[in-house]
Amino acid sequence: MDALKPQRNEPARMEKLAKLPVFWGLEGKRVVLAGGSDGAAWKAELLLACGATVHVYCDKQDLSETFTTLIAKNPALSFHDQSWHYGIFDNAELALADCETDVEGKAFYSAARAAGVPVNVIDKPEFCQFQFGSIVNRSPVVVSISTDGAAPILAQAIRRRIETLLPLALKDWGALAQTIRDRVNLRLAPGPSRRSFWENFVDRAFTERLDESSEERLLTDIGTQDAGTGLSRGRVTLVGAGPGDAELLTLKAVRALQAADVILFDDLVSAEVLELARREAKRMLVGKRGGRESCKQEDINDMMIRLAKAGKRVVRLKSGDPMIFGRAGEEIAALEAENIPVDVVPGITAASAMASRLGVSLTHRDHAQSVRFVTGHSRQGKLPENIDWASLSNPAVTTVFYMGGRTAADIQSSLLAHGMPASTPVAVMIAVSRANEQRWCGSLAQLAAAVERLGVNEPILIGIGDAFSAASSGFSGIDMQGVASRIAQKAG
């Protein structure tokens, strides 16, 4: 008998639950609801969405405008112009009520219990056998969150977080799973093949759009698994990590990181962004930094191809936006040449983050007629030879130089030589949106000296043009008088 006693240090198979989460089928079932408030209307709408036939008992003059509209639009909602009574509980699956007083709530609760019908009195936990959680609806995928009534606002916050992680298309993937489940079970025996198929299905649900060919591809996968013909095809997603602040990631970027098997990330990708990745994903630094030893682009291309052909879901994680000075074109071409599927998730480019941090509109109609992003160094590590300096020297053109720290002096001299006024506003930002961010504002005449003082060990953005006259007055050295003079001349 002693052998049957649980060991004191043995962990519990299931930790204590405040409530049992139960999903109740209500299709075609009769549900009674007493009350005509907006809160009762919301519960009625929820029940109707589950396919229930809802019978509402309430004096007509007590119906809210919301409830009146809901009744008019829903034939499955039967309105009874009378107060509830003991006879309404016959053949009811559930009973709900919105009662103003505890006395009325207790009476409804007791009547429903006596009739053997599970009961919920809205906002009166002491008269509830069951409770409604905060819901994320991707039906047939449904997520419900409960805090056992302790902190409803916390449940709502959790729901918002989950909403951001579950794509809307998940409901269509869930419906497709129901459609093909029987065929999968007939073709694939329980075990590794069936599990592998459904793991691949889940990966697609979070990373692909459902289209007309999706079902056909999945049925082909069933045959592949049944024949035991190797690994499923991998794919590559180029993801923009933004300027550094993890909160600037797009929802689609987070989903891609959560679905990755391997992440090839640049040296400029922040640790905070990597923290949002799937824990099991292998992370490989393929850093590319100006003036430092780094992976060759050809080696990165080969690595992506090799991993994808091995069936891996590869995320190529790039600082900023992959399509702006990110060499994404070369990577896409290399992958497409090998018939490897590739997707792109855009990110917030550094110039946009810079404008946000400075409170500057890059295209303010009083200051700028166009905006240009220009690389500050070529493959040879110096300014590109084909830059149109004459067009960039107009202060009404907002220009942002990426990677221009080591060429700041040449940028300054070239613009001055082509007629840009020395008083043109300039903003310099280092490590924009990160904890070690630095910023400086001044005039074009001060640019080279300012960058030399700031240093070039972190990524630098240089913004030039009248648009930066709106930068915060707290920054040092900006020649506002010269800017005002030029604006007045243009207005005249």
Q: Which two tokens stand for residue 97?
A: 């009520």
Residue 410 known to be catalytic: no
* Alpha-carbon distance values, 349 to 123, 164, 222, 248, 320 (Å): 47, 21, 41, 10, 4
How many angstroms separate the CA atoms of 239 and 321, rounded? 8
- Which of 383, 372, 389, 424 is CA-nearest to residue 405? 383
Q: Which of 29, 171, 252, 288 is catalytic?
A: 288
Catalytic residue list contains 288:
yes
The CA-based diameter of the chain, rounded to the nearest angstrom, is 101
- The rounded distance, in Å, linking the Cα atoms of 176 and 169 is 11
Catalytic choice (98, 266, 466, 479): 266
Beta strands 141-145 and 134-138 are antiparallel
Provide the token pair at 260.
Answer: 């990755």
- The helix or strand, by DSSP H or E, that contains position 344, with its residue range, turns out to be strand 342-345
274, two tokens: 């990597």
Residues 113, 127: Cα–Cα separation, whole Å: 10
Q: Which residues contact residue 393 at a Cβ distance below 8 angstroms, ignoring those fewer than 6 apart?
A: 415, 418, 419, 420
Contact 344, 318 (CB under 8 A): no
Q: 480 near 441, Cβ under 8 Å?
A: no
Q: Which two tokens stand for residue 79?
A: 């309105």
**Residues carrying an active site annotation:** 266, 288
